[in-house]
Amino acid sequence: MNEEEKGILVGIVIGDGHVSKADSRISVTHSLSQLDYAKYKASLITKIFGGVCNINYYSTTLPNGKSYPMCSFMKSNPYFRILRKLMYKDGKKNISYDILNLLTPLSISLWYMDDGHARRNVNKDGFVSSVSTEISTCCSYEEASIICKWFKDKHDVEFKPYKEKGFFSIRCNTQESHKFARIVQPHIIPSMLYKLSHVSDLSFHERMAPTGKCSKCEKDIYDKRQKGLCGKCYSLQYYRLVRRVREGRSDSPRGFYLG
């Protein structure tokens, strides 16, 4: 197994993947709206180990009584026993500097597609003035600090810990969000590109005055070149077009700036 393949598996496990204690098996679960992403992960794992990863479909009911469609897959291989010993301590995922050193830009993107969040700050004039990028690590302060140090050491991106529901996660500011986007954007699949749209919105809006109203959501727009759409609506339209191009159902769109 090469370093890229090890990094893929570590990235999946750090994110939403779970390695069982009872056997050598990984399980991955997503909402049905992220079916494309689940299939993408399954394809990465089968490329490493061979065989197949069958997607299972079911519904889960929360205490509020609402039912949500889900999809999942599992894969067994003796290597997952090694990953379990490496990444779990006292039954919980453990994030150390050595584990982080196994990550590649591709595996960082998998982690971000699982646990990443895009945040926008809108000023009094109604346009995006700054953004932040968050990764819900949900760990101790010590582990969050290690993750921040690793990103700074290895990629020169400055994240900082913040408290979230009794645990700690990490976030970076506008300038660092641009740098982080450049690392992961080449590896983000089309259906998950919305997780980078905050950087795109900022690129459209910063230092601009409103030029009209969005034809879809009626919010202020700041660039007449975006077909009468605000940055968010334009981004969503662009990402849908990229997906159609990759599926061979449309011509190639013009370039798109992520900062």
> For 86-105, how does the pLDDT look when each residue is reduced to its tens digit (9 = 90+)?
999 888 899 999 999 999 99
Residue 255 CB neighbours (<10 A)? 5
Is residue 140 situated within a structural domain? yes
Is residue 100 situated within a structural domain? no
Is residue 26 situated within a structural domain? yes
Domain holding 44, by residue range, is 3-88
Q: What is the CATH number of the domain that holds 165?
A: 3.10.28.10
Q: What per-residue confidence (pLDDT) applies to 207?
A: 44
The answer, as to whether pTM is greater than 0.95, is no
Q: What per-residue confidence (pLDDT) applies to 250?
A: 58
Which segment, 52-66, 135-149, 208-222, 234-248, is predicted with the most confidence on average? 135-149
- 71 and 128 share a domain? no
Is residue 171 situated within a structural domain? yes
* Tally of domains in the chain: 2
> What's the CA gap between 242 and 247, in Å, rounded?
9
Q: Higher model confidence: residue 62 or residue 110?
A: 110
Is residue 34 situated within a structural domain? yes
Q: Higher model confidence: residue 137 or residue 206?
A: 137
Is residue 49 situated within a structural domain? yes
CA distances from 200 to 125, 131, 216, 239 (A): 19, 10, 18, 11
Average pLDDT in the 107-130 region?
86
3-state secondary structure of 46: helix
